[in-house]
Amino acid sequence: DTEVTQTPKHLVMGMTNKKSLKCEQHMGHRAMYWYKQKAKKPPELMFVYSYEKLSINESVPSRFSPECPNSSLLNLHLHALQPEDSALYLCASSHDGQGKTEAFFGQGTRLTVV
Amino acid sequence: SQQGEEDPQALSIQEGENATMNCSYKTSINNLQWYRQNSGRGLVHLILIRSNEREKHSGRLRVTLDTSKKSSSLLITASRAADTASYFCATDGGYSTLTFGKGTMLLVSP
């Protein structure tokens, strides 16, 4: 199984809502990532979890809250988002986060904030 | 911050032709990777070239890396309509944190 599965595929939420994005992989990877991609732009790194510990937070606003319950799962909790947060949110995983191997990406969640 | 810069931003060719995309970066790297993205969905890893390698092949793909010029190129030979996608280079400075370039949109017409 070489897949990273993200749910939901699409999400529309109001600015007062609380929602969560989910990501799962069963490749035994120990590093997992959240990226944000705006239309016609490249992905930008948000968070990195290495061995279930948050290792990198790229100065992301606190309305985005990541969680890594175990080595296979990664969540992104969303609260009080703004319309400009509308984007494609991509989850990825890699072997061990030591920079030796490629990343595997999920199909993303397309988020619209209204 | 964006490290990789792709060139050209858009490329339109006919099936059977070769497509070449270039990428420049600014800082030292652990490795450089190329990804493909179809229609704004997930990215698919194509090829990884390490900083001590100069050229790598995978099927119809050929990647070169010139660390002295901080540049890389991706060549797709004998292109097909199914190769139509956006292509991104990504530099890995360590810990598998990727910094993506702006990407090249490739259109291959039948």
- In tens, the pLDDT along B74-100 reads 999 999 999 999 999 999 877 668 899
What's chain A's average pLDDT? 93
Q: Which of residues 50-109 of B touch A (CB under 8 A)?
A: 88, 92-103
Question: Which residues on chain A are in Cβ contact (under 8 Å) with B45?
Answer: 102-105
Q: What pLDDT is recorded for position A13? A: 96
Q: What pLDDT is recorded for position B28? A: 87
Higher pLDDT, A56 or B109: B109
Q: What pLDDT is recorded for position A56? A: 86
- How far apart are alpha carbons B15 and A96 in whole angstroms? 39
Question: Which residues on chain B are in Cβ contact (under 8 Å) with A94?
Answer: 96
Q: Are A18 and A97 in contact (CB under 8 A)?
A: no
Which of A97, A98, A107 faces B41 most closely, judged by CB atoms?
A107
Q: What token pair was written down for B76?
A: 């797709």
Give percent above pLDDT 70 in chain B: 94
- Model confidence over A68-99: pLDDT tens digits? 999 999 999 999 999 999 999 999 999 876 66
Q: What token pair was written down for B29?
A: 């790297």
- Count CB-CB contacts under 10 A for residue B26: 13
- Count CB-CB contacts under 10 A for residue B10: 11
Identity of the amino acid at B8: P
Is the pLDDT reported for residue A19 higher than 70? yes
Integer angstrom CA distances of residue B89 from A22, A28, B25: 26, 25, 9
The minimum CA-CA distance between B22 and chain A, rounded to whole Å, is 16
User: Residue A1: pLDDT band by 50, 70, 90 thresholds?
Assistant: low
Question: Which residues on chain B are in Cβ contact (under 8 Å) with A99?
Answer: 30-31, 92-97
Q: What pLDDT is recorded for position B30? A: 86
What's chain B's average pLDDT? 91
